[in-house]
Amino acid sequence: MNRQEIDTLVKQMNVDTATAAVDQRVQTIVVRLLGDLFQAIEDLDIQPSEVWKGLEYFTDAGQANELGLLAAGLGLEHYLDLHADEADAKAGISGGTPRTIEGPLYVAGAPESVGFARMDDGSESDKIDTLIIEGTVTDTDGNVIEGAKVEVWHANSLGNYSFFDKSQSDFNLRRTILADAEGKYVALTTMPVGYGCPPEGTTQFVLNKLGRHGNRPSHVHYFVSAPGFRKLTTQFNIEGDQYLWDDFAFATRDGLVATAIDVSDQAEIQGRGLDKPFKHITFNIELVKDATTAPSTEVDRRRASA
């Protein structure tokens, strides 16, 4: 079949058969995607067994709750960032901290505090470096944004996230910090370790077929929001990690690489109320003012909450 025949067939089956109210947007997308799929079957001579293997794959990936991970791993989530950047540029919006992928491991409802939070529950403090993350939330002109909501989450020393890893305490390494009167937020936590896809999981299964690894560099996730500003979804990836620029999820971007500086000065250690050397990362955040003409940065997706 040629494309015209395909489009006619898809329309006959999924448009002309409507007998009740139609969601126009869904209809448009379904018709387009089916046409593109049928065209791919024509072009690549995709066999029935291959189609069924593909459908079975999505069944398995859905049952394993790995479709979010798959979207990151195949670059769909990164593409959406690039597409959003382009939409912003077209709308004349520039500046601010770059966006990057959310990933599938956010959990709503983390404990909230003003200015400072300790994020870890202490269970790993003797086997991994202490990390202090601090920064200031400003607008693109450098004015501080008091009360900006900084939601932070990251992995433990094994690359695992609380809630999904039931061996961790509730909300371990997840906090919401409201920027203080100077726009500052400080997080006392432990050094995160890079994440690897579950080796026997459905995402790694397809990555293996593509000859790809499923590793991420050490990183820390953020949602930053404030009234009158566009919500920012981002993360920093930590300099020195072997996967920094070889991230299977393509989240590392210019402007989002953080350097962890070793601090061993006794006065500084004591000044922080600590008893051992620590690592320090500065991550300042710039939010862009919202405008009615700006594309929305809110992404509606199913997220865990606890």
Give the binding site for Fe ion (CB under 5 A). 103
How far apart are the C-alpha atoms of 217 and 116, rounded to whole Å? 25
Residue 96 or 103 having the CB closest to Fe ion: 103
Shortest distance, position 303 Cβ to Fe ion, whole Å: 14
Shortest distance, position 154 Cβ to Fe ion, whole Å: 7
How far apart are the C-alpha atoms of 287 and 223, rounded to whole Å? 11
The encoded tokens of residue 78 equal 């990164």
Q: Which residues pair with 108 in a beta bridge?
A: 305
Pairing of strands 261-263, 278-282: antiparallel
Residue 215 or 297 having the CB closest to Fe ion: 215
Query: In Å, how far from its chain's centre is CA 98?
Result: 12
Q: Which residue is nearest to Fe ion (CB)?
A: 103
- Residue 26 phi, psi dihedral angles, 5° rounding: -65, -45
Shortest distance, position 94 Cβ to Fe ion, whole Å: 27
- State the DSSP H helix or E strand holding residue 238, giving kind and residue range, or none if neither: strand 232-238
CA distances to 47, 49, 152 from 116, rounded to whole Å, are: 57, 56, 12
CA distances to 10, 17, 58 from 26, rounded to whole Å, are: 14, 15, 20
- State the DSSP H helix or E strand holding residue 258, giving kind and residue range, or none if neither: strand 257-258
Residue 209 or 301 having the CB closest to Fe ion: 301
Find tokens 């990933």 and name the residue: 103
Find tokens 């350097």 and name the residue: 259
How far apart are the C-alpha atoms of 54 and 166, rounded to whole Å? 31
Shortest distance, position 126 Cβ to Fe ion, whole Å: 24
Residue 219 or 230 having the CB closest to Fe ion: 219
Number of neighbours of residue 62 by Cβ within 10 angstroms:
12
CA neighbours closer than 13 Å in the CB half-sphere of residue 130: 18
Shortest distance, position 137 Cβ to Fe ion, whole Å: 21
Shortest distance, position 216 Cβ to Fe ion, whole Å: 6
Shortest distance, position 306 Cβ to Fe ion, whole Å: 17
